[in-house]
Structure 1
């Protein structure tokens, strides 16, 4: 089977395995030709508390006409960190145009975790992510992000499966076809909840939590998930493989001294 070409539109960290730096090696290892367009250049993972970010919106605006003139086309586009409303509109318009030519659009609306928004994320950022979701085939916010996107109430104790289904429906109203919600406690168990528009089915997949924090695990999840979907696998088994991959990588690295740099992926790609 011929492998699918994918474009990553996400930030690029100089120090740390997150965003593009985490997704590119995984998708490449899974055999897919990977291209990238940085939404921002980031000095290091934000977990260090001090960082420098260079927004690349003007560069992106000038890249798309060149690619159009050259006739470049991608089988899939995966978007992550979007810096501004202006950038979101430019990227969403390009995704909409590519989707009309058959490109699958995957959106990770990166904004926050554990009930809080990340540093620098504002109401404008949330609107930007809603713009991105409006063109998506599949989105995978975590529970915090799903609540902010839908103006829903975050419950630290988790939700029932029925409440998870309602939250998925609220995300679908923004425009996405299918949706996953990661890092959500469903009926007392850490889970990934989802809706598959192809089968019109809701589901919840439980997982065992390892109590350590690494930046970039959401990007690892996204890359494994997308890699298997692009190989024609179904949403539930692809999601399960992504969950299993993240668990194994965290377990193998849980004793690392400097967790802020993320997981040193290249050493462990074989387990995927």
Structure 2
């Protein structure tokens, strides 16, 4: 069985990070080996939560797993609390990242044009270094803008969907060329000429081509969907699927989960009810 080290926080409520990655990877036939970066009573979108930062504990995992002679087929990084944790991840990579290990970096820093509370210029600088080590990068629109310098405000001002897509293609190719990684930009929301319709999608960019997948959007947004998406990409990669195929599978899985969650009127911060759709990933 393939093994993936998942370096993310563990939030008890919110269905994100480790509580999203572990069931997805497991149902896709992959052993998820967690390295928690922090323990939270609930993800940070809740009105109140307690966070225990585990930066000082991360080296214990590196040391003990080294003693076991552990190896990994994949490494999946997500939410980190700051620059110091990325420094710890580099130490982890120095020991466990080989030419046979797929590294997926989800550069969690912000969403919807806003940066998260832990964001600093130092974090961005170190994240730019981390993505250069990656084989796959899964930034959302905001994170793509942060990594490439693309103006989020200008992107959102486009009235024509072709201008919007072209600007993101250019940014995706820039990121791909700077890192050598395959890039999947999530959460596209191209402008629509129909006031009654909105669209959402994702874009795949490699050294040779780009591919956009756009579908109608119901206007709902939930915690953890990016984590679920990235986890499906990693799971698909571990079982030999192409990235575009895995991207389409992730879209179908999330579309069904979001639709069901919307019908149940679940609060945004609670995340999507994805559990009954895990069978789609088998």
Superposed counterparts of 1:88-103, under 5 Å: 88-103=86-101
Asked if structure 2 preserves the Cα contact closer than 8 Å seen for 1:92 and 1:135, the reply is no
Are 1:248 and 2:252 counterparts? no
The 2-side partners of 1:187 and 1:164 are apart by 13
Conserved in 2, the CA contact under 8 Å of 1:193 and 1:205? yes
Alignment deviations for residues 222-247 of structure 1 (CA, whole Å, 9 cap, x no partner)? 11222112111111111111111111
Q: Unpaired segments of 5 or more residues in structure 2? A: 193-198
- What is the match of residue 195 of structure 2? none
Mapped pair 1:237 → 2:245 = yes
CA displacement 1:66-120 (0-9 Å, x = unmatched): 2112110010010000112111012023225433342100011111111111223
Q: Which residue of 1 aligns with 2:175?
A: 171
Q: Which residue of 1 aligns with 2:188?
A: 184
Normalised TM-score (structure 1): 0.91
> What's the counterpart of residue 28 of structure 1?
26
Q: Which among 150, 160, 170 is matched to residue 164 of structure 2?
A: 160
Asked if the contact 1:164/1:186 (under 8 Å) is kept, the reply is no
Aligned to 2:65: 67
CA distance in 1, matches of 2:103, 2:127: 13
TM-score relative to the length of structure 2:
0.88
1:24-173 to 2 correspondences below 5 Å? 24-154=22-152, 155-157=155-157, 159-173=163-177
Quick one: which of 17, 20, 34 aligns to 1:19?
17
2:226 match: secondary structure: helix
Secondary structure of residue in 2 paired with 1:21: helix
Match of 1:202 in 2: 210
Structure 1 residues 117-126 or 134-143, which shifts more?
117-126
Question: Is the 1:95–1:105 Cα contact (8 Å) retained in structure 2?
Answer: no
Q: Classify the secondary structure of the residue corresponding to 1:218.
A: helix
> CA offset at residue 186 of structure 1?
4.7
Pair 1:224 & 2:222 matched? no
In 2: Cα distance, 1:105 partner to 1:169 partner = 19
In structure 2, how many angstroms separate the alpha carbons of the residues matched to 1:96 and 1:174?
A: 21
Cα distance change of structure 1 residues 261 and 160 upon mapping to structure 2, 3 Å threshold? closer
SS of 1:156 mapped into structure 2 = helix
Tell whether the 8 Å contact from 2:253 to 2:277 is kept in structure 1 after alignment.
no
Following the alignment from structure 1 to structure 2, what is the Cα–Cα distance between the partners of residues 235 and 267?
Answer: 24
* SS in structure 1 of the partner of residue 20 of structure 2: helix
- CA shift, 1:176, in A, is 4.3
RMSD value, Cα: 1.9
Structure 1 residues 195-235: Cα deviation after superposition (integer angstroms, max 9, x where no partner):
124xx221111122121121011111111222112111111
Gaps of 5+ in 1: none
